[in-house]
């Protein structure tokens, strides 16, 4: 992934919804997590679902995890996927990583259950869009790699 900014998420469910809506259209979503949890979500029943990893998605978890890849062709699919992964705006347990691909490369990566140091975006995500997410309190901020290294290490020290 060509990471441009790292995000500091405040509301992962709303962040996922915003990214799905932004990137919908000739895109794909890779959902990775524990096999039992993903089976319970019935993601495999969504039209066009397949198992990965497949290019350009890479596994973000251990060897025991499973990846389901879903088409993200339009806003209706974005709504359906969001409803499965974050019903009522809260992310479901058991989903460890989510990646969104558009244009042949990953444009959104939320690893380690949306851990604040593991959420990043690629070049197709506009800065003005990220500023809107800050204004609406979906993310606390967005940072270049150098800024992220300083921000996250400083905030870990207190």
Instruction: Going from the first residue of the chain to its last (158 residues), give the mean pLDDT of each consecutive group of 10, the final group possibly shorter.
Output: 91 97 96 92 92 87 86 95 93 93 95 92 97 97 90 64
Which residues are CB-neighbours of 78 under 8 A, at least 6 positions away? 17, 20, 21, 24, 72
Identify whether the C-beta of residue 89 lies closer than 8 Å to the C-beta of residue 114. no
In this predicted structure, what is the pLDDT of residue 155? 59
Reported for 123-127, long-range contacts at CB under 8 A and 24+ positions apart, including other chains, are 123/2, 123/4, 124/23, 125/4, 125/5, 125/19, 125/22, 125/23
Q: What is the largest CA-CA distance in the chain?
A: 46
pTM given for the model: 0.92
In this predicted structure, what is the pLDDT of residue 158? 47
Which residues are CB-neighbours of 25 under 8 A, at least 6 positions away? 72, 73, 74, 102
In this predicted structure, what is the pLDDT of residue 97? 95
């Amino acid at each position: 992934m060509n990471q441009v900014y790292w995000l500091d998420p405040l509301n992962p469910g709303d962040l996922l919804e915003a990214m799905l809506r932004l990137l919908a259209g000739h895109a794909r979503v890779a959902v990775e997590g524990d096999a039992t949890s993903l089976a319970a979500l019935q993601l495999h029943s969504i039209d066009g679902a397949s198992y990965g990893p497949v290019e350009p998605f890479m596994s973000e978890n251990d060897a025991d995890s499973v990846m389901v890849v879903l088409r993200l062709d339009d806003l209706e699919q974005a709504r359906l996927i969001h409803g499965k992964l974050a019903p009522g705006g809260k992310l479901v347990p058991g989903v460890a990583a989510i990646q969104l691909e558009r244009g042949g490369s990953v444009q959104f990566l939320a690893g380690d259950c949306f851990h604040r140091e593991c959420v990043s975006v690629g070049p197709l995500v506009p800065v003005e869009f990220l500023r809107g997410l800050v204004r609406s309190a979906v993310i606390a901020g967005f940072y270049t790699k150098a800024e992220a290294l300083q921000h996250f290490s400083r905030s870990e020290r207190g």
